Amino acid sequence: MSKTLFLDDALLPGGFARNVRVDLDDRGTILAVEPDAPRGDQAAAAALPGIAIPGLPNLHSHAFQRGMAGLAERRSPTGDSFWTWREVMYRFLAALSPDDVEAIAAFAYVEMLERGFTGVGEFHYLHHDVDGRPYADPAELAGRIVAAAGTAGIGLTLLPSFYARGGFAAPPDDSQRRFATDLEGFARLLDATRAHAGRLPGAKVGTAPHSLRAVPSAWLAAVASLAPEGPIHIHAAEQLREVEECLAATGRRPVELLLDKAGLDRRWCLIHATHMSASETAGLAASGAVAGLCPITEASLGDGIFPGPAYLAAGGPFGIGTDSNIDIDAAGELRQLEYSQRLCLRGRNLMTTEPTESTGQRLLAEALAGGAQALAQPMGAIAPGRRCDLVLLDADHPAFAGAGPETWLDAWIFSAGREAVSTVVAGGRVVVSEGRHVAREPVLRRYRDTMRRLAGRA
Ligand code: ZN
């Protein structure tokens, strides 16, 4: 049975249009989009008020890290860095049960929908039981991610991560025992993951060699070939120490090494790509791969600043991800991306290339296109053939007072932010209404119980 929605204002591929009729099939795929549509009697029942934009792809998430919010913000005696944060993260995950992983992920995905994301790429590296042994079902925890995505109603691209070693010349240590597999074990894990993902409509499975620290470059082709149907994501050049270790071990910088050895193309997404030389920036932009930027997490972890203007000028595609999930916010990621550039380069409106271009429009357009490519999902536009994923912004929010289509996106990203998200449609279903997810209450209750128990306060 097909369905029809009526939108007051909607961002279509050619720009904002008024009185837009959207027809979709019973699987939530858009069949037709008609601007300036006449409104008959049926319109009232199917009207979604507000300013409609496509749901955003969140191309990089580690869902369990949502539970770490606030746990790594205390000064340690020896000074803090990404690497001391990672120790806190390893301690946090050491005790998580499958139920815990599902409860935390479901809440993270509910928040993603409430804050403008309708699809997520879950970079999933927590595979084994607490003692490092595979579960009876090697994809037990991937199955919990699929279940959490189903509970929330978010589109899922599941990216099981391959983790072979602890560093450029080190075996995995005890704190990494829940991640590490050999290639045969990883192939079994992927097969079992596919069986879980097959139960969630539209779910895709790709693969994620964790990083050049964790996977020798000579193995990348073998890892990628295990999931030829999906995208390939890898963490790259997030930290200067990682660049130095890569240079020492291989004679090349991380992005340089990937450009030389990995055959980067449109299937690939390089997460962070923070530290690049001018030639790496140009090379990545020309490769067809997406840069997966996580500006809030990169700021939180003290990673550094992506060379945004140079990459954009070279025509490089990018998308955004929430990564550590401590502050889930689609508009906030785009704002942080631009603000990092402003602080670094002491200019304004830096993530643009054209005279008079709106920064908000450009950031959103890039995040939609790059994110959809990186997730290999039919999202990112209100157009026939795409999944009906809509974010409706409250047109009565004060940030939009006196604004029109030419400034709506700037007002949303740089001022109103997540509190303007009123209604969200994912796969044709209304999952957020008046700013609240329809399953927020039970999902939050379970999340609270889980967090209290993990903190020893149950
Ligand atoms: Zn990550």
Residue 211 CA to ligand 1 centre (angstroms): 10
Residue 111 CA to ligand 1 centre (angstroms): 18
**CB 203, CB 157: distance < 8 Å:** yes
Q: Where in the chain is the domain with CATH 3.20.20.140?
A: 56-375
Residue 31 CA to residue 39 CA, distance in Å, equals 18
Q: How do residues 19-63 score in pLDDT, each as one tens digit? A: 999 999 999 999 999 999 987 766 666 899 999 999 999 999 999
| pLDDT of 458 higher than 80 | no
The answer to whether the predicted template modeling score (pTM) of the entire model surpasses 0.85 is yes
Residue 72 CA to ligand 1 centre (angstroms): 16
CATH of 56-375, one of 3.30.70.360, 3.40.50.12780, 3.20.20.140, 1.10.760.10: 3.20.20.140
260-298 burial, b at 16+ Cβ within 10 Å, e below that, comes to ebbebeebbbbbbbbbbeeebbbbbbebebbbbbbbbbb
- Count of alpha carbons within 13 angstroms of residue 228, beta-carbon side: 2
All residues with CB under 5 Å from ion ligand 1:
323
Q: Where in the chain is the domain with CATH 2.30.40.10?
A: 3-54+381-441
Q: Count the residues in the chain.
A: 458
Residue 236 CA to ligand 1 centre (angstroms): 10
- Whole-number pLDDT of residue 41: 60
Assign a CATH topology to domain 3-54+381-441: Urease, subunit C; domain 1 (2.30.40)
> Which residues form the catalytic set?
272, 323
Contacts of 402 (CB under 8 A, 6+ apart): none
Residue 333 CA to ligand 1 centre (angstroms): 15
Reference 121, options 181, 78, 36, 59; nearest CA is 59
- Whole-number pLDDT of residue 2: 82
Q: How do residues 170-200 score in pLDDT, each as one tens digit? A: 999 999 999 999 999 999 999 999 999 999 9
